[in-house]
Chains A and B, each alone.
Chain A
Amino acid sequence: MSMTQPDSKTLVDIYQKMTLIKHSDDRVIGAMKAGRMVMPYYSARGQECIPSAISVQLTDEDYLVTIYRGVHDMLAKGLPPKLLWAELAGKVTGSCKGKGGPMHLTYPSKGCMVTTGVVGASMPIACGLGLAAQLRGESRVTVANFGDGASNIGAFHESLNLAAVWKLPVIFVCQNNRYAEHTAYSKGTSVERIADRAASYNMPGLHVDGNDPIAVYNAAKQAIARARAGEGPTLIEAVTFRFNGHLIGDAGEYIPKPEYERAVKDDPYPRYRNWLVENKHATAADLDAIDASIKQLIDEAEAFAMSSAAPDASEVKRDVYATEIA
């Protein structure tokens, strides 16, 4: 894979998305710990690079499908923080009127089409979104996110095969955070690299450091170009780590302490910030300004969520079918 370095503006845009994801995540966890919010929350802290470096290359027309650990993917693609927070809080002002929650975030006007709570289920749906674009002769691509555990479920294999047979414009993004719920990668996966599985389906398989924005950017660039050119799907494996366990409340006892400490020490967020300043892509003051504006966005999002009304009980009769049920 040839590596090109994006321009400074793009690099800072990636930082901005990473900051939005990190700050929102920190604040959600804070609100949960303070008892202001209660939910099954699957934090993506540590995985910010991946959707940030991909999404700066996507347009609102491109489709995204993700999974229960997908708040970062949705924010990077453009889900407004206010609508996210109101949805997490179960309010009628949420993107799904409080009927979906963290595992079913949806916002079609930015291409955020489906979030699934079922491991592996994002991929067959992504094939259908890709098929739609292909049949309409559009250049839009579909990004399907999933974890390392999902590469062992049938839907992964069926989807990669179908996408390859039909040459669908789909980018399969495996965010390999080394643990499938509580099970270590090597105990559940027969290959060292999930990217190697692409060979079985006759498509490129790119293995990258998911904590390196430039590596993720380059892999995505290649996959997006291939998809837009009608040449078919790509599998990207981006290796990363999640800092907050499977879901909030998981103490992570199954993770060896040295492994966890090494991962936290390598936290991609501060590393990337320092790198941007050291390499003069931005000044510390520039990044401080971004941080402040993001903080304000999250303040507004939290206030909006907390002050919004809960959905009316009559909503149980709506959106089950096209017409309200009697």
Chain B
Amino acid sequence: MSEVKNFGDTEASKAADVNLGDAPKKAAPVNMIQSLNWALHDAMEADANVIVFGEEIADPEGGGIVKISSGLSTKYGNRVRSTPISEMGFMGAAVGAAVVGFKPVVEIMLMNFVAVCMDQITNHAAKLRFMSGGQTHVPMVIRTMTGSGFQNGGQHSDFLEAWFCHTPGIKVVMPSNPADGYGLLRSAIDDEDPVLFIEHLNNYWTPGAAPERGKKIPLGKARIHRPGKDVTVIGYSRSMLDIPPVVEKLAKEGIDCEVIDLRTVQPMDMDTILTSVKKTGRAVIVHEACRSFGVGAELSSRIHEALFRELKAPVERVASEDCPVPYAPPLEAAYLYTHAELEASIRKTLA
């Protein structure tokens, strides 16, 4: 295994790296909304079995609340449908259509609303392949958005990825930038298993390199965002906006962090992670979801199990408080980890 095995292993991740590095940009920056919209258009064009539904996603209803599905219904007609506010009904409909060969992409407007259709996701989409002995399977994508920082309170802001990572049969993808968003969504739609695709409200409007249309990024492959030798800092989704400024600040002091963007949370790219941590001997995991029983706990455990004797410090977790997401801005800020906490955690592994 090379030390930076997955660095720039696809054209799309090169494009993402280009935007964050010094090389000239190939195309004008775009945001995640644009790149996901392109991915949906290109997937529908490429495969007539791709169908899209969810609340308010057709053009007469606005093309989605942040317009990610804009233009789809106008171009693809009946394959794109706004649904009643009926998550259990249309999630089950996606399962049924997928069982007979369609590739539904369903939108759950905000991640907390998965709670009203969990049965169809965790008891059916995730398990039909196994329970049928492989006779049926459920190739569908559930797109959903979430994130704190918008005063949306306790039922519109949670990161619940750990629920689904704990359900064998589902894959969980959490992109951090527009180019990854495009390439990962294309692969998620092609995938033969159900994929939960979680988008962060905070990342929607952050500009990044434009994706190369048609270039897919394989699921289950992390991206080395910044090579380094002292501490491995692992993030995904929104935390990939917070990690770079802290890491660059520390770089000025000579602390050289390697930053890994997981991109796919389940399955995790353990090769890339363990190769990096073997080199650095230190790891810090950063996620917006609350700390306890989360992805950070699983990853920390896996690193300790594999590399206990080679670690120079215990693995650190940087995450949100174990409380519902609060409403008042000072409380909401207190809920989320801070850049200072991230910096302190990195320093702690070096102490």
Q: What residues make up the interface of A, taking CB atoms closer than 8 Å to B?
A: 63, 65, 94-100, 104, 106-108, 113-114, 116-118, 121, 123-132, 135, 142, 154-155, 158-159, 161-162, 165-166, 318-322, 325
User: Does B35 sit within 8 A of A, measured CB to CB?
Assistant: no
Count of B residues near A, CB < 8 Å?
43
Is B84's beta carbon under 8 Å from chain A?
Answer: yes
Interface presence of B192 (CB below 8 A):
yes
Contact call A165/B99, Cβ cutoff below 8 A: no
Q: Give me the interface of B with A, judged by CB distance under 8 Å.
A: 51, 78-79, 81, 83-84, 86, 88-102, 104, 119-120, 123-124, 128-137, 168-169, 171, 191-193
Contact B78 A135 (CB under 8 A): yes
CA distance A158 to B193 in the complex (A): 25
* Nearest residue, chain B, Cβ from A99: B133
Contacts of A158 in B (CB 8 A): 84, 86, 88-89
> Which residues of B lie under 8 Å from residue A114 when comparing CB positions?
96, 99, 124, 128, 132, 136
Is B92 a contact of A125 with CB atoms below 8 Å?
A: yes
Known: A106-B135, A130-B96. 13 other contacts (CB 8 A): A94-B133, A95-B133, A107-B135, A108-B135, A113-B96, A113-B100, A118-B119, A125-B99, A135-B97, A155-B92, A318-B134, A320-B130, A322-B137
What is the CA–CA distance of A161 and B88 in the complex, to the nearest angstrom?
12
Nearest first, the 9 A-B pairs at minimum CB distance are A124-B92, A128-B96, A158-B89, A97-B133, A96-B133, A128-B93, A106-B132, A322-B192, A104-B131
Q: CB-CB < 8 A to A118: which residues of B?
A: 119, 123-124
CA distance A288 to B125 in the complex (A): 44
> Measured between alpha carbons, how far is A171 from B346 in the docked complex, in Å?
60
A159 nearest CB neighbor, chain B only: B89
Which of A95, A113, A127 touches B93 (beta carbons < 8 Å)?
Answer: A127
Majority secondary structure of chain A interface residues (helix, strand, loop or mixed): mixed
CB within 8 Å: A-B pair count = 144
Task: Indicate whether A100 sits within 8 Å of B84 (C-beta atoms), given known contacts A124-B95, A125-B96, A126-B96.
Answer: no
Contacts of A95 in B (CB 8 A): 133, 135
Can you name 16 A-B residue pairings with CB atoms under 8 Å?
Answer: A95-B135, A107-B135, A108-B135, A114-B124, A114-B136, A124-B90, A124-B93, A125-B93, A128-B92, A128-B98, A129-B99, A158-B84, A162-B90, A162-B93, A165-B84, A322-B129
Partner of A132, one of B101, B119, B124, B133: B101
- Contact with B123, one of A94, A97, A121, A322 (Cβ below 8 angstroms): A121
The docked-state distance in angstroms from the alpha carbon of A94 to that of B135 is: 12
C-alpha gap A301/B92 in the complex (Å): 33
Chain B residue at smallest Cβ distance from A127 = B93
With A125-B124, A135-B51, A158-B89: A65-B133 Cβ-Cβ less than 8 Å:
no
A222 to B294, CA, bound (A): 53
Residues of B within 8 A of A321 (CB): 129, 169, 171, 193
Residues of B within 8 A of A130 (CB): 96
B131 close to A106 (CB less than 8 A): yes
Residues of A contacting B131 in the complex (Cβ-Cβ under 8 angstroms):
96, 99-100, 104, 106
A67 to B249, CA, bound (A): 59
Contact between A129 and B133, CB atoms less than 8 A apart: no
A107 to B136, CA, bound (A): 9
